[in-house]
Structure 1
Amino acid sequence: MDMQTSFLDRLFESGLLIDTGVDGLYGRSGQFEEVITAFERLIDKFGGADGAEAMRFPPGMNRALFEKSGYMKSFPQLAGTVHSFCGSELDHMNLLQCMEVGDDWTKGQEATDIVLTPAACYPLYPTIAKRGNLPAKGGLFDLQSYCFRHEPSKDPARQQLFRMREYVCMGTESHVTDFRQRWMDRGVEMMKQVGLQVVIDVANDPFFGRAGKMMVNNQRDQNLKFELLIPITSTANPTACMSFNYHQDSFGQKWDLNLEDGSVAHTACVGFGLERIALALFHHHGLDVKEWPANARKALWG
């Protein structure tokens, strides 16, 4: 039995995760949720004084805006769309007959105007663009949302529906890169407080296809993405629990995000994989939070 399956089985047996029969789609226990809630309080402790504007979007977003984002050009393999039945009574009868005999009943489904949110920040950019030019100090936003990525796996740290907490900064190049560095330093300190050893390394997004290989190289060569890595189900391939991304002016150009003087805004974000951080804590400190080290418990619960 490999480390991924072994840890997943232990999480099921303890009741921390609840098996739904679909890889990467799990229920969570009250104890699991308490750990996430406590860690979010720690995030607030580090970032609360920055004055970010909090927004909470649902786990679905406007399909037209999703299409404009270009996500399907880069990550078609990860996207999830919402389809619904839009047929007549006869179509409904045919659908039920298909279900009864085990045929494909989904062929009559039609795409709705909603897609599953791939990252917490995606609905933010068009929302802020509608406001007009950013103020002189730029913009800082606090987000949290369930996100979907179609990558079923036995690895409990690679879930299909998961929560992402983000801070997004909009402003000049120096402003947003300073923001990113500040959160890289904070991320290391946060994990130190909860007793987790980490490594920060340059990284890339999982771009699709042959063209994606060039994008991977560009992203890494320009140090546009860093990840905070913690071993969860593999010591050789530790899991990214935080990411620190500099988008240059790509989102600014795409969404017409402009600074007070009319120049195109640069953007950067820090993302926290909340389930992954909770899993890292359970993996390193044990499945019973009452037995966790005192320093970790103090950082999370005071």
Structure 2
Amino acid sequence: MNTMTDTAALATAANGDEHIAPSFRDELLAAGLLIDTGENGLYGRSQVFEDVVDRLNAAITHLGADQDAEVLRFPPAMRRTDFEDSEYLKNFPDLAGTIHSFCGNDMGHRRLLQALDQAMIASDDDRSDEWMAQQKPTRVVLTPAACYPVYPVLARRGPLPAGGRTIDVLSYCFRHEPSLDPGRMQMFRQREYVRLGNAHEVMAFRQMWIERGSLLVSLLQLSVEVDLANDPFFGRGGKIVADSQRAQALKFELLIPVANPDSKTACLSFNYHMDHFGKIWKIACEDGTLAHTGCVGFGMERITLALFRHHGLDVKAWPDDVRALLWGDTATRVAQGMAQMQALAAAPGTGDGA
């Protein structure tokens, strides 16, 4: 649906001619930080916005520098058969994005062109999609989460080495949930550290990253609230699955106000999949047991938006310590934060030192 149509609908719903304060999205567009494409949740990014994302990425790299992670980078698409095997469609069919292409002959192409000519006569919202009648699914689909291509790739390598593996992955992802909330984009980036190993290794990894993710957000001078969460499972049975996920404490999220100061957006997630992906792709540990997996996911756009929401749209006016972290000696700032966190945990009466 066209962005301007939704915006107009919101304005029409307002009472009379009462002045409506610009939304955070309006402010971002007016400042040129996001660029409106005319489609909800699909934005261009300015140089300033991308610079913040790049510097956040650098900080995350320093945060995980001791993890001996293998760096893998995938395009925002994955093999359709791997996607089918992942069981994503069982849980989130409404969010999935498939890739189709024209597979007809010359006569079919002529019909396509005729239908396209007819469609272009109408305005954006009223256009027919008849020209897509001969589009067929390709062998690739849009990646729903950065970690999804990792599991089948590692499965094809054979058993994990002793101690398992840690993967550093970054990708654009797609989820079909158009919204005027800038924190709910259809195309967005996830930076993830993915852990594969036994249950103890993966659980320890997740706890470590809850602490490190909270540290990063604190260094950025954003509010830190980690809460038990669940994924948005689809359908009538979705609540049962979600309740089970919460009961087993499989997912935590770090929440920060973004679009609306009265609500909070998940900017980081900390997930334990148990042996779900190990079973699907038959990923084995060195001793032959099924591998467990977990991941920490950084929503790169969401953290960036949170910075603009809390520190203002002019990055030059951000707090000195935040600017020093992002545009200064990032490695030293992160190392100092890590050392302070570890010292606090080891102090008598706290953490493991209790």
Instruction: Report the TM-score, using the length of structure 2 for normalisation.
Output: 0.84
Partners of 1:4 and 1:154 within 8 A in 2: no
- 2:192 aligns with 166
Alpha-carbon distance change, 218 to 287 in structure 1, aligned in 2, over 3 angstroms: same
Partners of 1:5 and 1:155 within 8 A in 2: no
* 1:32 maps to 2:57: no
- 1:178 aligns with 204
Instruction: Give 1:114's match in structure 2, choosing from 123, 128, 140.
Output: 140
- 1:128 aligns with 154
Instruction: Give 1:273's match in structure 2, choosing from 280, 299, 305.
Output: 299
- 1:198 aligns with 224
Output aligned runs, 1:194-273, within 5 Å.
Answer: 194-273=220-299
Alpha-carbon distance change, 48 to 217 in structure 1, aligned in 2, over 3 angstroms: same
- 1:68 aligns with 85
- Moved runs in structure 1, 4+ residues, more than 2 A? 1-5, 234-237
Partners of 1:80 and 1:115 within 8 A in 2: yes
Partners of 2:81 and 2:139 within 8 A in 1: yes
Which stretch of structure 1 is more off in the superposition, 203-212 or 234-243?
Answer: 234-243
RMSD over aligned CA atoms reads: 1.4
Which stretch of structure 1 is more off in the superposition, 159-168 or 189-198?
Answer: 189-198
**What one-letter code is carried by the residue in structure 1 that aligns with 2:83?**
F
Q: Distance in 2 between matches of 1:7 and 1:279?
A: 9
Matched residue of 1:78: which SS?
coil
**Structure 1 unaligned runs (5+)?**
none
* 1:141 maps to 2:158: no
Following superposition, the deviation at residue 4 of structure 1 comes to: 11
Q: Distance in 2 between matches of 1:259 and 1:14?
A: 50
- Same amino acid, percent of matched pairs: 55
Matched residue of 1:247: which SS?
strand
Partners of 1:61 and 1:114 within 8 A in 2: yes
Partners of 2:152 and 2:281 within 8 A in 1: yes
Partners of 1:121 and 1:168 within 8 A in 2: yes
Alpha-carbon distance change, 219 to 236 in structure 1, aligned in 2, over 3 angstroms: farther
- 2:332 aligns with none
Following superposition, the deviation at residue 237 of structure 1 comes to: 2.5
Output aligned runs, 1:84-123, within 5 Å.
Answer: 84-102=101-119, 103=128, 104-123=130-149
Q: Distance in 2 between matches of 1:57 and 1:33?
A: 19
Number of equivalenced pairs:
302
Q: Distance in 2 between matches of 1:45 and 1:56?
A: 18
Matched residue of 1:122: which SS?
coil
Instruction: Give 1:53's match in structure 2, choosing from 70, 74, 94.
Output: 70
Alpha-carbon distance change, 199 to 43 in structure 1, aligned in 2, over 3 angstroms: same
Matched residue of 1:280: which SS?
helix
Following superposition, the deviation at residue 5 of structure 1 comes to: 6.5
Partners of 1:141 and 1:167 within 8 A in 2: yes
Following superposition, the deviation at residue 235 of structure 1 comes to: 3.4
Structure with greater Cα Rg: 2
Matched residue of 1:229: which SS?
strand
1:133-158 per-position Cα deviation (integer Å, ceiling 9, x unaligned):
10111010000000000000000000
Which stretch of structure 1 is more off in the superposition, 269-278 or 191-200?
Answer: 191-200
Matched residue of 1:164: which SS?
strand
Q: Distance in 2 between matches of 1:205 and 1:293?
A: 34
Instruction: Report the TM-score, using the length of structure 1 for normalisation.
Output: 0.98
**Structure 2 unaligned runs (5+)?**
1-10, 15-19, 120-127, 329-354
1:72-111 per-position Cα deviation (integer Å, ceiling 9, x unaligned):
1000000000000111111111111111112421111010
Matched residue of 2:93: which SS?
coil
Matched residue of 1:105: which SS?
helix
Matched residue of 1:21: which SS?
strand
Matched residue of 2:57: which SS?
helix
Q: Distance in 1 between matches of 2:53 and 2:184?
A: 16
Matched residue of 1:210: which SS?
coil
Alpha-carbon distance change, 105 to 36 in structure 1, aligned in 2, over 3 angstroms: same
